[in-house]
Amino acid sequence: MSQTLTEIRENCARARKRMTQARKEHWAFGAFNLDDEPTLIAIARAAKAKDAPVLVEVSQGEVDSIGLENVRDLVDNIKAEYGVEMYINLDHSPSVEAAIQGIDAGYEFIHIDISQANHDATDEEIVAATRKVVEHAKFTGASVESEPHYFGGSSNLHTEKIDYEAIRKTFSTPEGAKQFVEATGIDTFAAAIGNLHGKYPVPKKLDIELLKELRKAIDCTISLHGGSGTPGHYFVEAVKVGVTKVNINSDMRIAYRKALERALKENPGEYSTAKLIDKFVVPAVQEVVEDKLEMFNCGGKARID
């Protein structure tokens, strides 16, 4: 383990304090997916340029590819090198066991998402599993996020239109959110107000009035998943209402791929892909991250102790 238990607990306590500050001061953490080291460098450079605190996150696919401990070490190394405020979120952890592994590895934020792995999971199963993770998280002080339903879409470039009639059936409700938060003891509620994973041919539409109702109904942190492809004014409004965490993935992946394709096309004689990635890809992803940080009102909010 790259950190002592004392260090892990101190980091988690600091992360919790900063989330409280974000809500009070009306700004939000961007939670950006870490696909590889160049993506992490792009996030760090953006955070440095904007003097903004950030979360980097990995889902089970990245965990299987990179490894929990390796992610922890990569983030700690880059955080120290660039002098930025950065925390790790384990995103959409599919089981109690996987979430516990993230807690024990020193991740400051844990998203347990039983319905992602099992779309037919019952309310009782989701609540029971989430409570187990919340209980174990007390060991380090990690912040736990969850939701009582399957969250639609996928972190990809979609070609189909958004079926808002179908999506509205999965929207969070103030009553349901309150019941779930009280039943599980989670720190962060992942709201569904028109946001969904992936990027679509048309911009997403968020129900800000519903978000206001959710904010009044629950006292914990509220997050928005599926931020890619969302017009920036929705983020500005959501942060004012009290959202303190927004997940971004697809916008970064699309920028990464387009930049890499361009680099390969324009440099057919260059076989050092590392050079091409550093020159073309990292700046493209960094630009996406910087743009989101502006929308989240977190520029100038970094605190390096």
- Structure token pair of residue 66: 């990179």
- The candidate with the shortest Cα–Cα distance to 132, out of 109, 84, 100, 161, is 100
What are the backbone dihedrals phi and psi of residue 69, each rounded to the nearest 5 degrees, phi first? Answer: -70, -40
- 163: which residues sit within 8 A by CB, 6+ positions away? none
Give the type of residue at 280: F
State the catalytic residues.
91
- 228: which residues sit within 8 A by CB, 6+ positions away? 155, 198, 199, 248, 249, 250, 251, 252, 254
**DSSP character at residue 161:** P
> How far is the C-alpha of 214 from the C-alpha of 176, rounded, in Å?
9
